[in-house]
A and B are shown apart, each in its own frame.
Chain A
Amino acid sequence: MSMSTSAAAPTKSRPEFRNIHVSQIVRYRMPPAAMVSIMHRISGAALFLALPFLLWLFDLSLISEGSFDRMAAIGSGWVVKLVLLFLAWGFLHHFVAGIRYLVLDMHVGLELPQARRSALAVYAISLPLTLVAALKLFGAF
């Protein structure tokens, strides 16, 4: 935050991160926008890997009444529910963060404070929606 003054006055040495090593990642506190960015990539990769599973469920859900019931039975196990919840988070994060990127592409909210706020807004929207998905998956309503 004090980048403008640090050039003039000599300050105490700070840790420098250039091409950071894997072991440094845990100590590197990323700003919210950077977290949104890496989560966007992780969620996208997860959704890509889950593609065959999701297409298979989609297929089962449409073939017949019997296969629909089979799909529902597969989705009733708690391990599968956890996987589906993770994928629901992945979709919701990727969706909301993606809309943020589309807005940023139009050069809206590029200033640091606004970008920081919109990054936090991504969590404020995607995480409650994930909670709703969790409640739905585990039968709260």
Chain B
Amino acid sequence: MASDTPSAGIGARRLVVGAHFGVGSFLLQRLTALILVAFVVILAVRLMAAGPLDYVGWASIFVPLWMKVLTLVAILALLYHAWIGVKDIWMDYVKPMGVRLALQVLTALWLLACAVWSVQILWRV
């Protein structure tokens, strides 16, 4: 896209940003949102089908492998969705670059830890 012709930087078709990271984030935020909506619907249906929600009824929802995989996909979607949203919040309100970078790194590490923890939680059932 970037070209060295004199007209590349001006006019209606000027290049405003470089790498289009924003478009990717925008689309992935929507995609992960759709995954989460689908998962909420599936979980709601399974909850209604499960009957009384004592320990056995609740835990049996997450016993089948497909439900573990589905739940993990949903949790990973949730974590990536949260990453985009929280990163946007830091970018909007935290102006000093060092503080912002530190918060973003902490957020990413924390979400990564949650992902690992989720695997442990689900595969222990």
Chain A residues at the B interface, C-beta cutoff of 8 Å: 41, 44-45, 47-48, 51-52, 55, 58-59, 61-65, 68-69, 95, 98-99, 102, 105
Contacts and interface: CB of A to CB of B under 8 A. Distances in A.
B37 interface: yes
Nearest to A45: B89
Contact of B33 (A45, A47, A98): A98
B34 A102 contact: yes
B30 A102 contact: yes
Contact of A62 (B34, B54, B59): B59
B86 A95 contact: no
B113 to A, nearest CB: 9
Given A58-B121, A62-B62, A102-B33, A48 B114 contact: no
B86 A55 contact: no
The winner among A52, A61, A62 for most chain B CB atoms within 10 A is A62
A48 B82 contact: yes
B86 A48 contact: yes
Contacts of A59: 117, 121
A62 B124 contact: yes
Given A44-B85, A59-B117, A61-B59, 10 more contacts: A51-B82, A59-B121, A62-B62, A62-B121, A65-B55, A68-B58, A68-B59, A69-B55, A98-B33, A98-B37
A47 B33 CA distance: 14
Nearest to A58: B121
Contacts of A102: 30, 33-34
